[in-house]
Amino acid sequence: MSALAGKVALVTGGARGIGRAICAAYVAAGARVAVADRLEAEAAETAAALGPEAMAVAMDVTDREEIAAGVASIEARWGGIDILVNNAGVFNMAPIEEITFEDYRRQYDINVAGTLFTIQAVVPGMKRRGKGGAIVNFSSQAGRRGEPNIAIYCSTKAAVISLTQSLALEFAPHKIRVNAIAPGVVDTPMWDQVDALFAKYEHRAPGEKKRLVGEAVPLGRMGRPEDIADPCVFLASDDARYITAQTLNVDGGNWMS
């Protein structure tokens, strides 16, 4: 039997990169998947590529009304949500002198508030149905340690770990498990933007930082989206039925805990 047979999953930031890989892995594991993203055309293309077991949902996780409408549309079509993956996120970096309040708010609104309020929208249905559920949040190796010029992003991802622990304890009586994944460096289109920022602030040639971080991984390469998607299937499956409140490092050995 497929690991997620009969389950319905909502994946935020599902249109591309790690999110798209998770959606594909979930469909392959037997789930029906809502590909939620503010990039509506890309979400629709991803859902179409995955076939009838996928649907596209327009969702900006900074808009609580849009979150509620998206959750309602999934519940209306498929009866409920068994799995929530909070993958939507944003990265930026700057030295302390250049941090703006607008960027601070943007990173916290997407990475932290977006995670919290999407959970708030999904959990009542999980409780009402009485079948439990699985929530997988996305932190980062940056949530495990501080890094220069990345104070806001690191702190948002540390906050996700804390939210994961607190909500796991709150939801445990309802058999709703809450875990997180902390990826390391993963080769996605987002990393081209990250590399450009490092080139600016560390005075490096374009592509140099990306090459260096890949070489520094103990397993010898950057991660690929599917390296993250497969553990995400595991954490949502019954194989992980006795695991909650944990943050799983999926980083090729970068961080040991």
- Positions marked catalytic: 153
Q: Which two tokens stand for residue 159?
A: 């906050």
Pick the closest to residue 232 from 37, 42, 19 (CA basis).
19
Q: Which two tokens stand for residue 254?
A: 């970068």
Looking at beta carbons, which pairs linking 239-246 to residues 24 or more positions away fall under 8 Å? 239/3, 240/134, 240/177, 240/179, 241/177, 243/177, 243/179, 244/168, 244/172, 244/177, 244/178, 244/179, 245/164, 245/165, 245/168, 245/169, 245/178, 245/179, 246/164, 246/179, 246/180
Pick the closest to residue 98 from 191, 197, 194 (CA basis).
197
Specify the residue for token string 């498929």: 78
> Burial level of 86, CB count in 10 A (0-12/13-18/19+)?
buried
9 near 82, Cβ under 8 Å?
Answer: yes
151 near 96, Cβ under 8 Å?
Answer: yes
